[in-house]
């Protein structure tokens, strides 16, 4: 049919941009948009139970596919719900467009029912936020918003009064193409030479890698081999660099493990590759060079001897011919031995007859899940202790993906992220590693999973506690307070929503319950009652933090296992030449 309204024209622009779905809650000022979708064959409305979840779902879809994803909220409370998910998307660099519908244009500024100021509200969580005031601004502003999201790797927000969406168009939509492939930053030769000189001068080198090494695994391994460098990683870098890595020394940061912290501190030169690692307390704050495709990130976490503006892969390919082969492996071998010792210590503490002990150790659940999950599974991970179990137990292989709110750190992201991941990849196994605190916060999204019959597998780590908050209190020397709460049978809730579910209280039941859930054709939830005292110690804590633990944590289990990473560490020891 002929396009006649601004809403029709807006949707036509999205279809031209390759958008196939919009996440949101219908109603009110969004009704013209929703009706335009109803009449358009190439796009669908995905009903969620909270607009926040819609923004998370869009963020996951955009992260996994690299394509534009869209969410929407009606005027007032409808679009203010979007904020949390949009912050997560924008900080992650996911290309997301949000439509923040507004009250009638004639009522703006009068204190009208549900009036907010979305053009102000969303500025901090977007790279582009503009208001469509007249039909003449469509399709131009939507096209600008789409391209800004795709080009900038972040969120664009368009504010549009609901009555404007009803109005007749001012002109033809026309056609337009959108640039989805971005140019690769090639470093200046002066910086390449300076990087080579710094690496060649240093007696010992450590490489610390983030998500920016996603397309440069081979180059990182070649450089590590050339200079006998231990290779550590951030949480976001784990999935891209830990597999097939004979130089691995683990992860740094609050969730870290192994020898990574010492390797970064003791090297003559620390090379940061594609990471914007925020925890400067884990960095040496000297003897550091950094390579990043975004020049604005250079030096903002730590003083630099040298900053290199370039894509990691392009930079390493340019510098490798200039890097001299180092012959002394003693630093690398010492770090590999220390890494293996560190992992074996916590493994001994956490795997000895763990399959027989109750309450169930969450590490055991994560370890079994890692064994049973598909080789190309997508794991979505709740903020908190689930981050720890994913970081230490989910084994990367170059095909698996791990999505979480790793930069914004909000609760309740895992299940709505899983919704977007599953819709983006219908044939792929998607596993939500949810904490009971996170699941409870957006519990309605169980209904979203059931409504759309999404085959998401929800593995619930149900410890009736806000575990990470408890840990934070203990670090500060405070007794934990209001972190524990009455147990809830989430399996019964899921079953009431029409989702097959099982509650597991005995460790011997864990393998069969997970295997059955993963094999089911539709959604499933495994509610595992886990030990609320299972926590994680970072690889380095201050004297003040240790004092806090001594005061408040005498009965709390600390450490946390590391799963199959100990096997990797042991195998890497075999790379050490015998005298």
Q: Where are the domains of the chain?
A: 6-166, 189-338, 354-546
Beta carbons of 229 and 209 less than 8 angstroms apart: no
Nearest CA to 527 out of 315, 365, 351 is that of: 365
Give the SS3 label for residue 266.
helix
Region label for 35, one of left (φ > 0), alpha (ψ between -120 and 50) or beta (otherwise): alpha
Quickly name the fold that domain 189-338 has: Rossmann fold (3.40.50)
pLDDT the model gives residue 475:
60
**How far apart (Å, rounded) are the C-alpha atoms in residues 287 and 283?**
10
Give the SS3 label for residue 302.
coil
Beta-bridge partners for 273: 209, 291
pLDDT the model gives residue 181:
85
Task: Output the 3-class SS for 8-68.
Answer: HHHHHHHHHCCCCEEEECCCHHHHHHHHHHHCCCCCEEEECCCHHHHHHHHHHHHHHHCCC
Residue 91 — φ and ψ, nearest 5°?
-70, -30
**How far apart (Å, rounded) are the C-alpha atoms in residues 53 and 22?**
12
Helix ranges restricted to H, 464-536: 467-475, 490-496, 510-519
User: What is the DSSP annotation of 367-436?
Assistant: HHHHHHS-TT-EEEE-SSHHHHHHHHHPPP-SS-EEEE-TTT--TT-HHHHHHHHHHH-TTS-EEEEEEH
Q: What is the maximum span of the chain, computed from C-alpha positions, in angstroms?
A: 83
Beta carbons of 35 and 46 less than 8 angstroms apart: no
Select from 3.40.640.10, 3.40.50.970, 3.40.50.150, 3.40.50.300 the CATH code of 6-166. Answer: 3.40.50.970
Non-local (6+) Cβ contacts of 282 within 8 A are: 252, 253, 256, 261, 264, 540
Burial of 177 (0-12, 13-18, 19+ CB in 10 A): exposed
Beta carbons of 30 and 72 less than 8 angstroms apart: yes
Burial of 66 (0-12, 13-18, 19+ CB in 10 A): middle
Nearest CA to 104 out of 130, 133, 146 is that of: 133
Nearest CA to 477 out of 554, 558, 387, 386 is that of: 554
Beta carbons of 243 and 397 less than 8 angstroms apart: yes
Quickly name the fold that domain 354-546 has: Rossmann fold (3.40.50)
Beta carbons of 460 and 434 less than 8 angstroms apart: yes
Terminal CA-CA length for the chain? 79
Q: Per-block average pLDDT, block size 10, for the chain (579 residues)? A: 81 97 94 96 97 98 97 96 97 97 93 94 96 96 97 94 93 90 94 98 98 97 98 96 95 85 96 95 95 96 97 98 98 95 68 70 92 98 90 92 94 97 98 96 98 98 80 67 86 98 96 98 96 61 45 36 65 62
pLDDT the model gives residue 557:
32
What is the rounded (10 degree) CA torsion for 251, 257, 262, 268?
Answer: -10
**How far apart (Å, rounded) are the C-alpha atoms in residues 281 and 215?**
28
Residue 176 — φ and ψ, nearest 5°?
-155, 145
Beta-bridge partners for 101: 160
Give the SS3 label for residue 477.
coil
Tell me the C-alpha to C-alpha distance, in Å, between residue 474 and each of 19, 480, 551, 555, 557. 46, 7, 8, 11, 12
* One fold for 189-338 and 354-546: yes
Beta carbons of 103 and 160 less than 8 angstroms apart: no
């Amino acid at each position: 049919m002929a396009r006649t309204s601004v809403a029709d024209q807006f949707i036509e622009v999205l279809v031209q941009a390759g958008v196939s779905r919009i996440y949101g809650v219908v109603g009110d000022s969004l009704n013209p948009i929703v009706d335009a979708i109803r009449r358009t064959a190439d796009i669908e409305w995905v009903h969620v139970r909270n607009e926040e979840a819609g923004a998370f779902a869009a963020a996951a879809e955009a992260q996994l596919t690299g394509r534009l994803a869209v969410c929407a909220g009606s005027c007032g409370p409808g679009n203010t719900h979007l904020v949390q998910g949009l912050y997560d998307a924008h900080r992650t660099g996911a290309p997301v467009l949000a439509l923040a519908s507004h009250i009638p244009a004639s009522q703006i500024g009068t204190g009208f029912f549900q009036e907010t100021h979305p053009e102000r509200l969303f500025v901090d969580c977007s790279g582009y936020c503009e208001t469509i005031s007249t039909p003449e601004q469509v399709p131009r502003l939507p096209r600008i918003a789409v391209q800004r999201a795709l080009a900038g790797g972040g969120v664009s927000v368009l504010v549009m009064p609901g009555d404007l969406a009803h109005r007749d168009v001012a002109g033809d939509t026309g056609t337009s193409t959108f640039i989805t492939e971005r140019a690769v930053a090639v470093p200046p030769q002066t910086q390449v030479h300076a990087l080579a000189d710094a690496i060649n001068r240093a007696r010992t080198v450590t490489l610390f890698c983030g998500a920016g090494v996603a397309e440069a695994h081979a180059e990182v391994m070649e450089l590590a081999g050339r200079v006998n460098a231990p290779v550590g990683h951030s949480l976001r870098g784990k999935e891209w660099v830990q597999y097939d890595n004979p130089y691995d020394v683990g992860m740094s940061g609050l969730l870290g493990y192994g020898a990574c912290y010492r390797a970064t501190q003791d090297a003559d030169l620390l090379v940061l590759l594609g990471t914007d690692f925020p925890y400067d307390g884990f960095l040496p704050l000297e003897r550091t060079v950094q390579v990043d495709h975004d020049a604005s990130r250079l030096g903002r976490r730590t003083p630099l001897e040298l900053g290199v503006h370039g894509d990691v892969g392009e930079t390493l390919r340019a510098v490798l011919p200039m890097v001299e082969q180092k012959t002394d492996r003693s630093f690398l071998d010492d770090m590999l031995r220390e890494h293996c010792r560190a992992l074996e210590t916590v493994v001994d503490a956490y795997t000895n007859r763990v399959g027989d002990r109750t309450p169930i150790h969450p590490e055991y659940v994560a370890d079994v899940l890692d064994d049973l999950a598909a080789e190309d599974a997508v794991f979505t991970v709740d903020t908190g202790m689930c981050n720890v179990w994913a970081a230490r137990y989910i084994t990367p292989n170059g095909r698996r993906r791990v999505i979480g709110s790793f930069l914004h750190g909000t609760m309740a992201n895992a299940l709505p992220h899983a919704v977007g991941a599953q819709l983006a990849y219908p044939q792929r196994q998607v596993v939500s590693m949810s904490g009971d605190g996170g699941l409870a916060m957006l519990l309605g999204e169980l209904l979203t999973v059931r409504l759309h019959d999404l085959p998401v597998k929800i593995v619930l780590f149900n410890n009736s506690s806000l575990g990470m908050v408890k840990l934070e209190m203990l670090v500060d020397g405070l007794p934990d307070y209001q972190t524990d709460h009455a147990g809830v049978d989430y399996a019964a809730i899921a079953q009431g929503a029409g989702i097959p579910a099982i509650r597991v209280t005995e460790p011997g039941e864990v393998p069969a319950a997970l295997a059955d859930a993963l094999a089911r054709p539709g959604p499933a939830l495994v509610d595992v009652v886990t030990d609320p005292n299972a926590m994680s110690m970072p690889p380095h804590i201050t004297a003040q933090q240790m004092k806090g633990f001594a005061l408040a944590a005498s009965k709390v289990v600390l450490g946390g296992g590391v799963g199959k990473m100990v096997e990797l560490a042991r195998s890497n020891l075999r790379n050490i030449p015998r005298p």
